[in-house]
Amino acid sequence: MNKTILVAIDGSVYSSNSLDYLAKIFAHDRSLNIHLLHVVSSGSSEKDWMYDVDPLRAQGEASDSRTLIAKKRLKDATDRLVRHGFTQEQIQSRTKQSSGICNAIREDAERGNYDAVLIGRRGLGSVGNVFFGSTSTDLIAKCHRSPLWIVDGTIRANRFLLAVQSHPASLMAADHLAFILKDHPSAEICLYHSSSVFGKQAPAKAEDFHAQWGKSWCERYLDLDNFLFYAHAQLLTENGFSRHRIKQLPAQMHLDVSSDLLKQAKQNNCGTIVIGRRRRDLSRGQLKGVSDKTIKQAQDVAVWLAG
């Protein structure tokens, strides 16, 4: 089954890092389709804001210039991916005019049939106003229907660290990871659970999993008292991931779970951390805090939010 990734481009080193990350993991995966999107801002011209209201209105000279620059950046991005091993047929690109970059990406993600949204971000803890500073932060807050892949810096390791929890969102993240990595020839997954020393999070109830996986499957595989280590591994293998490439790390307790996830990723040569994300109406509490803090502290690592 083909997979389609929406990649936000702005011509910066951060978007180049995201392209290199994509190529490092998927360069020879012919089932992967890439949609490059460059949002052309219409907010800096007195007249350009009207384009959002009336898309048939002719663009101003400033917008024309920005569109030409965006098309060149998309061509450069396409060429970069092709040099790394992707075929021209796997890549599509387009520009989109909008006064709000984050909303434009989110709307595109929600309207399109994408399996994930990939975006680069600027350095450690940065919350600047440039495109891939504030935009990644806004997307995390607003884009809940599509898995988000946030790339920080240069990533050299191919392994994945899957943060396991006794909650449905964590299994959904495992399902997403298995779908994306199905038939991958070499990817490895480390299952890891980190608990806060300030209070153990209560596991979800077994019936909370029934709607997605069925009662019989849950009765057979759910190990709620063991942080669902077995259930995660089972779900991965059922979706085509080889069991011999799944490693369970010892569960630990830590003062700061997000720092511990980053530490474990580094120690186990994992370039990507995958975290289950609860629905927006259930996103309060530890899981939301862990995912937010992990992304803010991330350096030379990718963080996937799925679920």
Lowest-confidence segment of 18-22, 89-93, 200-204, 234-238 by average pLDDT? 200-204
Q: Is the pLDDT of residue 169 over 70?
A: yes
Tell me which range, 91-100, 118-127, 281-290, is most confidently predicted by mean pLDDT: 91-100
Average model confidence (pLDDT) for the chain?
85
Q: Convert the pLDDT of each residue in 93-104 to its tens digit.
A: 999 988 788 888
Instruction: Tell which wins on pLDDT, 108 or 201.
Output: 108
State which of 39-48, 179-188, 198-207 shows the largest mean pLDDT. 179-188
Confidence of residue 140 (pLDDT cuts 50, 70, 90): confident
DSSP string for residues in the chain: --EEEEEE--SSHHHHHHHHHHHHHHTT-TTEEEEEEEEEE-SSSTTTTHHHH-TTSPPPHHHHHHHHHHHHHHHHHHHHHHHTT--GGGEEEEEEEES-HHHHHHHHHHHTT-SEEEEEE-STT---SSHHHHHHHHHHHH--SS-EEEEES-----EEEEE--SSHHHHHHHHHHHHHHTT-SS--EEEE-EEETT-PPPPPPGGGGHHHH-HHHHHHH--GGGTTHHHHHHHHHHTT--GGGEEEPPPEEES-HHHHHHHHHHHTTEEEEEEE---GGG--SHHHHHHHHHHHH--SEEEEEE-
Q: What is the pLDDT of residue 211?
A: 95
Per residue in 272-287, pLDDT (tens digit) is 999 998 755 544 444 4
Q: Is the pLDDT of residue 195 over 50?
A: yes
What pLDDT, on a 0 to 100 scale, did the predictor assign at position 285? Answer: 46
For the chain, domains (ranges, CATH) are 3-152 (3.40.50.620), 159-306 (3.40.50.620)
**Which range among 38-47, 85-94, 224-233, 253-262 shows the weakest confidence by mean pLDDT?**
38-47
Q: Supply the pLDDT for residue 48.
A: 41
pLDDT score, position 185: 86
Band of pLDDT at residue 110, cut at 50, 70 and 90:
confident
